[in-house]
Amino acid sequence: MKKYHTVLTIAGSDCSGGAGIQADIKTISALGCYAASAITAVTVQNTCGVSAIHPIPAEYVKSQIEAVMTDIKPEAVKIGMINDVEIVRAIASSIKTYRPKFVVFDPVMVSTSGCKLIEDKAIEAIKNELIPLSTIITPNLKEAIVLTGDNISHAGSMIEAGRKILNYGCHSVLVKGGHLDGDDMCDVLCINGDSNPYTFTARKIDSHNTHGTGCTLSSAIATNLALGYTLQEAVNRAKEYVYKGILTGKDIHIGNGHGPLNHFHTPVPMHIFAENE
């Protein structure tokens, strides 16, 4: 029997199409996997910012996940924006029940435009209930600061933050340093049991079109894990994909704020495999 490699994204909907579920589906599809989705919230937003968030009732989030996991059985799950405690617990319960091979968690707390996207009381639930179930979490600097309580201003402090987050029980942490000062980007991957962190560096691209980059990166990591790449390979390939998306989309005008990157700069055919492989 032939099948597609499948990824489930659990995240909020972005009606402007640049982030959230919409960016996830574009990314998973562009990289050659089949995308399924469970929506955690409906947001009212565009390239200028988020003006409203309507959480989906937790039982409906859980039912969406169950419908996909019992039928399609995705190899990887990407988790994005979660607005309240009940949804955190619904997702954690589902992960424990269905045990997908890979769980990529992007702890979305603040949008690119600076809008807060999560309730304060949900943060502790994330630390205690969801992070320990994750293969990798991908916080940016602001999110890493929220998770650790530490000031993070250089690569060394990023490594310290990553190691501190590992104590919550996840397998690995990618601390994203795109907001550091300077002309270069530096992301740090810390893996539980590995004393040597991995660093990924690249020259910053001068672009206003960065809406949804975190959603896109985490979805690309999940997709590459589903395709069979190692964790380090999956992160490296995902970062290359996002970099090209920013580079090829930097001169495109979509909206009046932070526009999206170009998700379809190099689309690949859907990967098909035999179930007994």
Which position among 212, 245, 249, 259 bears the catalytic label?
A: 212
What CA dihedral angle connects 255, 109, 79 and 38, to 10 degrees?
-60
43, 176, 216, 245: the active-site residue: 176
Catalytic residue among 27, 47, 148, 213: 213
176 a catalytic residue: yes
Is residue 214 annotated as a catalytic residue, yes or no? yes
Q: First CA to last CA across the chain, in angstroms?
A: 10
Annotated active-site residue 210? The verdict is: yes
Q: Of 33, 170, 190, 215, which residue is the catalytic one? A: 215
Answer whether 47's CB lies under 8 Å from 255's CB.
yes
215 is an active site residue:
yes
The CB density around residue 135, as the number of other CB atoms within 10 Å, is 20
Distance of CA 13 to CAs 9, 62, 81, 111, Å?
A: 11, 16, 9, 13
| DSSP run (H or E) holding 221 | helix 213-226
Write down the residue that tokens 């032939």 correspond to: 2
Is 18 a residue of the active site? no
> Which residue has tokens 């985490």?
218
* Options 12, 17, 162, 214, the catalytic residue: 214
The alpha carbon of 269 is separated from its chain's Cα centroid by a whole number of angstroms, namely 22
Comparing CA positions, the residue from 81, 112, 75 lying closest to residue 234 is 75
Is there a catalytic annotation at residue 255?
A: no
3-state secondary structure string across 225-255: HHCCCCHHHHHHHHHHHHHHHHHHHCCCCCC
**Cα–Cα distance for residue pair 6/79, rounded to 1 Å:** 14
Rounded CA gap, 5 and 240, in Å?
A: 21
Could you give the residue numbers annotated as active site? 176, 210, 212-215
